[in-house]
Structure 1
């Protein structure tokens, strides 16, 4: 559903970090940043659309068309898209090794440690989305947004060149406060500079929604949740 959002309607972009969420809100010509501890607090204020850098909608085997298409778009940097989220991983198991034994028994791909440790946030968002089906909450991927803004693949965000390029793209898109956010606002929160950059990128996806994978009507999982990545 490609609904237009006007520039004076509030949107929110969210990226997770170890202590909670980086929330970037755009409302009219202004934007603001906050660091809420949970998704309910992050989305407590009225919003027209929210975009979150987290898997939304999951299959039993962890295979999603949107992940494959997103990885293809980001080639040769396919590994920037995490795959394999499955509700049963975290609903049925508290130990990653046990979960992966079960994944192997089912003939499925094992979960990486990085994916496993995202489980709490994935399930937090899953519960919120399923309880608030009237809200426009979409999965977005910051690297797809940066690809759209740059017109070509970017170097790793962990490099000085990659971080600066992403920062410059965001300033050009209107985030003139980003240097202050990175050097001052985030201090003491536990959020890293790239967490802020990613939250800004998905906020742009919430406001502009230039495209998605797959295109057209979104496939839905067993709970009716859309599996589509926006940028």
Structure 2
């Protein structure tokens, strides 16, 4: 069985594909061009967007993390922000809700819109949202893994993945130029592949507890770990 983990990167989208022959890496400028033939695909990107306010799954994910790591779960744009650039989305949020949009989330607006346009509720049988830092925190039993952008933090996360049975992703770091795919992108995508494997095996956790809410398009707003 093949599963895949997907993350956005400077070059577009990357997928770490995990099958019987180990790990492989694929890069494409557009999401559909990844053309993934996998039983489950876990994506490190919001699926399902609230009309206003925060998503319950993001609140639940932040509660699982220690305070220094909570910033890694940032509020995604609300649905009315799709199609806007960050500055306009920030102004619109403040005018409508009294809460703008972080620049970090604003930089992902085109990726989030692309993913949203590609999915229907029926696709969520196979395509799920994941969050690497929430997964790593649980697998490491709360141990401090450091910042993922440092060499030490990356090695700590690679070790967590190996202990969980994922082949070492270190050999994928230089498949593409680092100007297009950073090492921590690869590690995050590998973590998503592990989440996909856990979903396929029926061993993954899901946030929030209970039946997840749906957005205006009928997409479930949930994070799998």
Instruction: Calculate the TM-score normalised by the size of structure 2.
Output: 0.89
1:36 counterpart residue number:
28
Inter-CA distance 45–54: structure 2 relative to 1 (3 Å threshold): closer
Matching of residue 224 in structure 1 with residue 218 in structure 2: yes
Ranges in structure 2 where 5+ consecutive residues have no aligned partner: none
Instruction: Give 1:132 deviation, angstroms.
Output: 6.0
Inter-CA distance 186–175: structure 2 relative to 1 (3 Å threshold): farther
CA contact (8 A) 1:18 1:191 kept: yes
2:76 counterpart residue number:
84
Instruction: Quote the Cα distance in structure 2 between the aligned partners of 1:133 and 1:176.
Output: 27
Which of 135, 141, 146 matches 1:145?
135
Instruction: Quote the Cα distance in structure 2 between the aligned partners of 1:84 and 1:147.
Output: 21
Matching of residue 53 in structure 1 with residue 47 in structure 2: no
- Residue by residue over 1:199-222, the C-alpha shift from the partner in whole angstroms, topping out at 9 and shown as x without a partner, is 000100001132011133221111
Ranges in structure 1 where 5+ consecutive residues have no aligned partner: 1-8
Instruction: Give 1:158 deviation, angstroms.
Output: 2.3
- What secondary structure sits across from 2:219 in the alignment? coil
Instruction: Quote the Cα distance in structure 2 between the aligned partners of 1:162 and 1:205.
Output: 20
Instruction: Quote the Cα distance in structure 2 between the aligned partners of 1:100 and 1:20.
Output: 24
Aligned residues: 219
- Residue by residue over 1:164-213, the C-alpha shift from the partner in whole angstroms, topping out at 9 and shown as x without a partner, is 1001122333444522211x313366110000000000100001132011
Instruction: Quote the Cα distance in structure 2 between the aligned partners of 1:37 and 1:135.
Output: 25
- Write the mapping of 1:114-193 to structure 2, written as runs, cut at 5 A: 114-130=104-120, 133=123, 135-153=125-143, 154-182=145-173, 184-187=174-177, 190-193=180-183
Instruction: Quote the Cα distance in structure 2 between the aligned partners of 1:102 and 1:11.
Output: 38
Inter-CA distance 176–27: structure 2 relative to 1 (3 Å threshold): closer
Inter-CA distance 214–159: structure 2 relative to 1 (3 Å threshold): same
Inter-CA distance 197–178: structure 2 relative to 1 (3 Å threshold): same
Instruction: Quote the Cα distance in structure 2 between the aligned partners of 1:120 and 1:97.
Output: 13
Instruction: Give 1:88 deviation, angstroms.
Output: 1.7
- Aligned-residue Cα RMSD (Å) equals 1.9
Instruction: Quote the Cα distance in structure 2 between the aligned partners of 1:28 and 1:180.
Output: 17
- Residue by residue over 1:20-59, the C-alpha shift from the partner in whole angstroms, topping out at 9 and shown as x without a partner, is 11201112352211112211122x2322111000010001
